[in-house]
Amino acid sequence: MGRRVTVGTFLAIVGAGALGARARAAVSRAVQARWPRSGAGTLVVNLLGATALGALFGAGVRVDGALLAIVGMGFLGAFTTFSTWMVEVAERWRAGARAWALLEACLTLLAGTALAVLAAHLTSG
């Protein structure tokens, strides 16, 4: 059975989501400004988000459930962007940059998983 969420926690999740979306846009723009032709903004955002979520998960036993929801679902849920990543991979594939599309897909999955596991391990003690 799920936990009940208070109105205050719900509003905090929504607010954290707004902040996460703004942070994603800022980080993505900064990366794209540095490497304009790479399309690396979404990759960097998703790897940072996977690392942060792994750290939060690892520390979860010591963190309040409401805080986990606010940061994990709210901020990091909006910060990371699965749908944008999928569209970018599909666009690269359609444009004929199939090697880059496959590299980005594999790198995001493998590196994101590795970073999340490492961060969870480092924060679980």
- Each residue's pLDDT expressed in tens, for the chain with a length of 125 residues: 467 889 999 999 999 999 999 999 999 999 999 998 877 999 999 999 999 999 999 987 677 889 999 999 999 999 998 888 999 999 999 999 999 999 999 999 999 999 999 999 999 97
Using a 10 angstrom Cβ sphere, with 0-12 exposed, 13-18 middle and 19 or more buried, the burial of residue 98 is exposed
Is the pTM higher than 0.85? The answer reads yes
Q: Does some domain include residue 63?
A: yes
pLDDT at residue 1, rounded to an integer: 44
- Calculated CA dihedral for residues 45, 48, 51, 55, nearest 10 degrees: -110
Task: Give the pLDDT score at 2.
Answer: 62
Q: State the total domains in the chain.
A: 1
User: Per the domain annotation, does 73 fall within a domain?
Assistant: yes
Query: Is residue 12 included in any domain, yes or no?
Result: yes
What distance lies between CA 12 and its chain's CA centroid? 18
Residue type at position 30: A
Q: How far is CA 33 from CA 15, 71, 103, in A?
A: 27, 27, 21
The answer as to whether 2 is a domain residue is no
Query: What single DSSP character describes residue 96?
Result: T
Range of the domain at 32: 7-123
pLDDT value for 39: 78
Task: With respect to residue 99, please indicate whether it lies within any of the assigned structural domains.
Answer: yes
* The residue to which tokens 């590196």 are assigned: 111
